Structure 1
Amino acid sequence: MRISILALGSRGDTQPCVALAQGLTQRGHSVTVVAAARYAPLITTPIPDPTPTSAPDHNNRTPDPTRTSDHHNRSPDSTRSPDRNPDPKTPKRGIHPQRETPSQEGTPPRGWISQRVPGARLAHAPLSVDPMAIVESEEGQAWLRSGPLGFVRGFRTVVEPLAERLVAEVDAACAKADLVLAPALGSFGRHLHDLYGTPYMLLHFQPSEPTRAFPNPLIDARSLGAVGNRISYALIERLSWLMLARMVNRLRGSVLGLAPMRGSPFAADRRGRVPVLCGVSPHVVDRPRDWPEHVHLTGYWRVAGERLPDDLEAFLQAGPKPVYVGFGSMAGRSSVLDEVKGRVVVQGLTAEPSDDVFVAGDVPHDLLFPRMAAIVHHGGAGTTGAALTAGVPNIVCPFFADQPFWARRVAALGAGPPVGADLRERLLAVPQYVEKSAQLGRLLEVEDGVKTAVDLIEQY
Structure 2
Amino acid sequence: MSLRVGLITKGTRGDVQPLLALAQELRLRGHQVAICCPKCVVSLVEERGIAAFGMSFDPKSAIQSSEMQEAIASGDGGLCIKAFNTSQEHQILASGVNPAQEVYDFVRTFRADALVGHPSFVPLIAVAEAFSLPLVNALFMPFLPSAVAYPAFFARNQLEKLGLQGKPLEAHKQLWDNYITPEEFAQLNHLRTGWGLKAHKDVAETQAVYQCAHEANCWSPHLLPEPSDLQVEFPFARQTGYLFADSPEYQPSPELLAFLAHPSKPIYVGFGSLCVGDPREATEKVLRALKASNLRCIMAGGWVGLSPSQLDAEKTIDFHLLKDFASTNVFSLEACPHDWLLPRCCGAVHHGGAGTVAAAARAGIPQAILAVAWDQPWWAEYLEDRLAVGINLRQMISKVDERLLATAFQRLAEEDQLTTAAADLGKLIREERPGHESLADFVLESVKLPHPWPTKEQPTPLNLLPSLWDRASQENLRRALGGA
TM category (shorter chain) comes to 0.7 to 0.9
Displacement after TM superposition at 1:280 (Å): 0.9
Number of the residue aligned with 1:62: none
Number of the residue aligned with 2:289: 339
Displacement after TM superposition at 1:308 (Å): 4.6
Number of the residue aligned with 2:400: none
Residue type of the partner of 1:358? F
Secondary structure (helix, strand or coil) at the match of 2:60 reads helix
Number of the residue aligned with 2:422: 437
1:450 to 436, 444, 448: 436
Q: Which moved more, 1:208-217 or 1:364-373?
A: 208-217
Residue type of the partner of 1:242? T
2:147 to 202, 212, 215: 212
User: Which whole-Å deviations, capped at 9, do the CAs of 1:147-171 have from their partners, x for residues lacking one?
Assistant: 5654554455211243434223212
Whether 2:65 is the aligned partner of 1:137: answer: yes
What pairs up with 1:236-275 in 2 under 5 angstroms?
236-242=175-181, 244-245=183-184, 248-249=187-188, 252=191, 256=195, 260-264=199-203, 267-270=207-210, 273-275=212-214
Whether 2:247 is the aligned partner of 1:315: answer: no
8 Å Cα contact 1:312-1:360 kept in structure 2: no
Over 3 Å counting, the alpha-carbon distance change for 1:367 and 1:9 in structure 2 is same
Displacement after TM superposition at 1:413 (Å): 1.5
Residue type of the partner of 2:410? L
Residue type of the partner of 2:187? V
Q: Distance in 1 between matches of 2:178 and 2:4?
A: 34
Normalising by structure 2, report the TM-score: 0.73
Number of the residue aligned with 1:288: 227
User: Which whole-Å deviations, capped at 9, do the CAs of 1:77-99 have from their partners, x for residues lacking one?
Assistant: xxxxxxxxxxxxxxxxxxxxxxx
User: Which whole-Å deviations, capped at 9, do the CAs of 1:125-144 have from their partners, x for residues lacking one?
Assistant: 12232212321233333356
Over 3 Å counting, the alpha-carbon distance change for 1:156 and 1:378 in structure 2 is closer
Higher helix share: 2
Over 3 Å counting, the alpha-carbon distance change for 1:146 and 1:262 in structure 2 is farther
User: Which whole-Å deviations, capped at 9, do the CAs of 1:292-321 have from their partners, x for residues lacking one?
Assistant: 232222111001113253032332225521
Q: Distance in 2 between matches of 1:429 and 1:148?
A: 26
What pairs up with 1:336-375 in 2 under 5 angstroms?
336-340=286-290, 341-348=294-301, 349-352=306-309, 354-375=327-348
Normalising by structure 1, report the TM-score: 0.76
Whether 2:401 is the aligned partner of 1:413: answer: no
Over 3 Å counting, the alpha-carbon distance change for 1:29 and 1:382 in structure 2 is same
What pairs up with 1:57-68 in 2 under 5 angstroms?
none
Secondary structure (helix, strand or coil) at the match of 2:51 reads strand
Number of the residue aligned with 1:39: 41
Residue type of the partner of 1:336? V
Whether 2:376 is the aligned partner of 1:403: answer: yes
8 Å Cα contact 1:321-1:343 kept in structure 2: yes
Displacement after TM superposition at 1:38 (Å): 3.2
Number of the residue aligned with 2:127: 192
Whether 2:390 is the aligned partner of 1:388: answer: no
Secondary structure (helix, strand or coil) at the match of 2:225 reads coil
Number of the residue aligned with 2:407: 425
Which sections of structure 2, spanning at least 5 residues, go unmatched? 310-325, 395-402, 447-484
2:116 to 181, 186, 203: 181
Secondary structure (helix, strand or coil) at the match of 2:244 reads coil
Over 3 Å counting, the alpha-carbon distance change for 1:418 and 1:142 in structure 2 is closer
Over 3 Å counting, the alpha-carbon distance change for 1:318 and 1:378 in structure 2 is same
Q: Distance in 2 between matches of 1:166 and 1:449?
A: 28
Secondary structure (helix, strand or coil) at the match of 1:276 reads strand
Q: Distance in 1 between matches of 2:16 and 2:86?
A: 23
Tell me how many residue pairs correspond in the alignment.
Answer: 385
Whether 2:153 is the aligned partner of 1:171: answer: no
Secondary structure (helix, strand or coil) at the match of 2:224 reads coil
Secondary structure (helix, strand or coil) at the match of 1:355 reads helix
Secondary structure (helix, strand or coil) at the match of 1:301 reads coil
1:233 to 132, 150, 172: 172
Q: Distance in 2 between matches of 1:153 and 1:192?
A: 26
User: Which whole-Å deviations, capped at 9, do the CAs of 1:363-417 have from their partners, x for residues lacking one?
Assistant: 1111111111111111110000001111111112222221121112222222123
Q: Distance in 1 between matches of 2:75 and 2:179?
A: 15
Q: Which moved more, 1:399-408 or 1:157-166?
A: 157-166
What RMSD over aligned residues (CA atoms) do the two structures have, in Å?
A: 2.7
Q: Which moved more, 1:1-10 or 1:379-388?
A: 1-10
Q: Distance in 2 between matches of 1:266 and 1:257?
A: 17
1:22 to 5, 21, 24: 24
